[in-house]
């Protein structure tokens, strides 16, 4: 079976490696991939906005299944487009992808189906949004509606911050804004909860906790993710059942009422408040770097799972997992999430020896004449699978010390809630 993988981050390198382990796979293509996927797949340099070119390549090379990693092509409708040419695609269609593509779509669904979430208001102009402020208690959350690559969310501690957030959103900082979403601030512990679905049945696909802030102690600016660990310390059967009953099942019912079914990974970003789950956001894909911590624990053949999903056979698959803990530390370019330099050589990466429970997933890297260079803010993901979180982190940091790259930085405190108690 030939599989094509769309995307170029650490998530995609980990998906690629999970596919590669399967005897079912004869070849993997990555669109466009990175220096890590380059060693196990064929990287194909095509602009991800050019669906027609991607489709032509898939048909010419007789690729059997396409798996979509990132949200943008999903929200732009790549699944609907490719399926029109009878190409099998693992990923949600355009309407289902609104769960991530429009926060307001999701909030309205929550309201209609009684899904617990932060109280909210939607305002069409800054005058209304500003006048609403007097009814709010602080902090208050202001959000842009569409995709904003992890940005577009302001936690406002005072009126000045609130006014600035509303102004920036309506001025188009995150694309043309028809409205703004104002939300109550929920105080609790976050958890990332994943399911996989073939459009008929779904199965739980693990939990994780990521660290979005750039500085140790979860301070500083938001990033795409500085590290993660799996499972979440909150993961237990009682809470999982509440999440399924109150959040996942009503969401899938809501989509069904819109005559769509959800095929792909669904990632619920939750706030757990006194033992009860509240939906903060949906993503219609695996998390990055959560994916890199979940896939190394999967025992079942990943290619078989994806094949079952595109053939609506997921019910027949028994998902098996290793009991281990995993932890990922992200090595970033100095300056990230603001300005940073690209194209800096990472000298000895190919000489580092890894055990089978150690992984270096490439994120922002590029290969040129057999040498590896940085090519993004988040450059490498060091993942360790072990019996306990502390040894995962200790070993990840030891591995990081072997990487000869002075232009990077990483957080040394990933997993502090489960390690440094």
Strand 378-386 and strand 358-362: the pairing is antiparallel
Asked if 145 touches ligand GLY (CB under 6 A), the answer is no
Residue of 283, 333, 381, 386 interacting with ligand GLY (CB under 6 A): 283
- Neighbour-count burial for 326-349, b at 16+ CB within 10 Å, e otherwise: bbbbbbbbeebbeebeeebebeeb
Instruction: Indicate the residue among 22 and 381 with the shorter CB distance to ligand GLY.
Output: 381
| Separation between Cα atoms, residue 294 and residue 204, nearest integer Å | 12
Residue of 76, 168, 190, 357 interacting with ligand AMP (CB under 6 A): 190
| Separation between Cα atoms, residue 25 and residue 143, nearest integer Å | 42
In terms of Cβ atoms closer than 10 Å to its own Cβ (0-12, 13-18, 19+), residue 58 is: buried
Residue of 42, 281, 394, 413 interacting with ligand AMP (CB under 6 A): 281
| Best CA proximity match to 361, nearest among 384, 343, 342 | 384
* Binders in 355-414 for ligand AMP, by CB under 6 A: none
- The phi and psi torsions of 155 (rounded to 5 degrees) equal -100, 110
Q: For tokens 């079914």, what's the residue?
A: 261
Asked if 12 touches ligand GLY (CB under 6 A), the answer is no
Instruction: Indicate the residue among 22 and 292 with the shorter CB distance to ligand GLY.
Output: 292
Strand 180-184 and strand 189-198: the pairing is unpaired
Residue of 183, 290, 301, 358 interacting with ligand AMP (CB under 6 A): 183
- The phi and psi torsions of 54 (rounded to 5 degrees) equal -65, -45
If contact means CB under 5 to 8 A according to the sort of partner, which of ligand GLY, ligand AMP, none does residue 186 touch? ligand AMP
Residue of 133, 185, 321, 373 interacting with ligand AMP (CB under 6 A): 185
Instruction: Indicate the residue among 4 and 10 with the shorter CB distance to ligand GLY.
Output: 10
DSSP letter, residue 262: -
| Separation between Cα atoms, residue 191 and residue 30, nearest integer Å | 30
CA distances to 54, 121, 143 from 129, in Å: 42, 9, 12
If contact means CB under 5 to 8 A according to the sort of partner, which of ligand AMP, ligand GLY, none does residue 226 touch? none
Instruction: Indicate the residue among 141 and 392 with the shorter CB distance to ligand AMP.
Output: 141
The region of 194-202, 284-292, 299-307, 393-401 touching ligand GLY under the rule CB under 6 A is 284-292
Instruction: Indicate the residue among 211 and 362 with the shorter CB distance to ligand AMP.
Output: 211
The region of 63-71, 179-187, 255-263, 327-335 touching ligand AMP under the rule CB under 6 A is 179-187
Collapse the DSSP code of 6 into the 3-class scheme (helix H, G, I; strand E, B; otherwise coil) and give the result: strand
Residue 341 CB, shortest distance to ligand AMP, in Å, is 27
| Separation between Cα atoms, residue 71 and residue 79, nearest integer Å | 11
Strand 180-184 and strand 153-156: the pairing is unpaired
The region of 75-83, 152-160, 283-291, 309-317 touching ligand GLY under the rule CB under 6 A is 283-291
Residue of 287, 296, 337, 376 interacting with ligand GLY (CB under 6 A): 287
Collapse the DSSP code of 388 into the 3-class scheme (helix H, G, I; strand E, B; otherwise coil) and give the result: coil
Asked if 367 touches ligand GLY (CB under 6 A), the answer is no
Asked if 381 touches ligand GLY (CB under 6 A), the answer is no
Instruction: Indicate the residue among 93 and 293 with the shorter CB distance to ligand GLY.
Output: 293
**Cα 252 from chain centroid (whole Å):** 19
Q: For tokens 């109150």, what's the residue?
A: 246
Asked if 105 touches ligand AMP (CB under 6 A), the answer is no
If contact means CB under 5 to 8 A according to the sort of partner, which of ligand GLY, ligand AMP, none does residue 287 touch? ligand GLY
In order, the DSSP letters of 280-320 are EEEESS--TTHHHHHGGGB-S-HHHHHHHHHTT-GGG----
If contact means CB under 5 to 8 A according to the sort of partner, which of ligand GLY, ligand AMP, none does residue 17 touch? none
Residue of 73, 92, 206, 225 interacting with ligand GLY (CB under 6 A): 225
Which residues of this protein are in contact with ligand GLY, per CB under 6 A? Answer: 210, 225, 283, 287-288, 290
Which residues of this protein are in contact with ligand AMP, per CB under 6 A? Answer: 118, 141, 153, 183, 185-186, 190, 212, 269, 271, 280-281
């Amino acid at each position: 079976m030939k599989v094509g993988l769309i995307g170029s981050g650490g998530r995609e390198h980990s998906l690629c490696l999970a596919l590669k382990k399967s005897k079912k796979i004869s070849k993997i293509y990555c669109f466009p991939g990175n220096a890590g996927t380059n060693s196990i797949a064929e990287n194909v340099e095509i602009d991800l906005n050019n669906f027609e070119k991607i489709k032509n390549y898939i048909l010419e090379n007789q690729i059997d299944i396409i798996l979509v990693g990132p949200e943008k092509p999903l929200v732009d409708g790549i699944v609907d487009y490719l399926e029109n040419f009878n190409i099998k695609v693992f990923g949600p269609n355009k309407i289902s992808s609104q769960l991530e593509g429009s926060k307001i779509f999701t909030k309205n669904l929550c309201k209609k189906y009684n899904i617990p979430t932060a109280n909210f208001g939607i305002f069409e102009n800054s005058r209304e949004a500003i006048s609403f402020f007097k009814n709010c208690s602080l902090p208050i959350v202001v959000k842009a509606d569409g995709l904003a690559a992890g940005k577009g969310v302001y936690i406002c501690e005072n009126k000045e911050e609130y006014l600035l957030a509303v102004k920036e959103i309506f001025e188009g900082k995150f694309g043309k804004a028809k409205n703004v979403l104002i939300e109550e601030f929920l105080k609790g512990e976050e958890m990332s909860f994943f399911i996989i679905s073939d459009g008929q049945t779904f199965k739980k696909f693990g939990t994780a906790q990521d660290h979005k802030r750039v500085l140790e102690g979860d301070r500083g600016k938001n990033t795409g993710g500085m590290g993660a660990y799996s499972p979440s310390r909150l993961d237990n059967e009682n809470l999982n059942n509440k999440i399924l009953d109150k959040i996942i099942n009503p969401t899938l019912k809501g989509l069904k009422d819109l005559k769509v079914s959800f095929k792909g990974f669904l990632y619920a970003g939750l706030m757990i408040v006194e033992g009860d789950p509240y939906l903060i956001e949906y993503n219609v894909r695996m998390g990055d770097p959560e994916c890199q911590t979940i896939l190394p624990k999967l025992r079942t053949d990943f290619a078989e799972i994806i094949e079952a999903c595109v053939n609506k056979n997921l019910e027949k698959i028994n998902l098996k997992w290793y009991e281990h803990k995993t932890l990922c530390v992200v090595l970033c370019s100095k300056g990230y999430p603001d300005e940073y330099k690209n194209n800096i050589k990472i000298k000895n990466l190919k000489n580092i020896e890894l055990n089978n429970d150690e992984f270096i997933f490439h994120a922002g890297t590029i290969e040129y004449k057999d040498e590896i260079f940085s090519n993004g803010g988040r450059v490498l993901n060091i993942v360790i699978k072990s019996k306990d979180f502390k040894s995962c982190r200790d070993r990840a940091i030891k591995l990081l010390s072997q990487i000869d790259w002075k232009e990077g930085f990483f957080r040394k405190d990933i997993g502090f809630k489960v390690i440094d108690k």
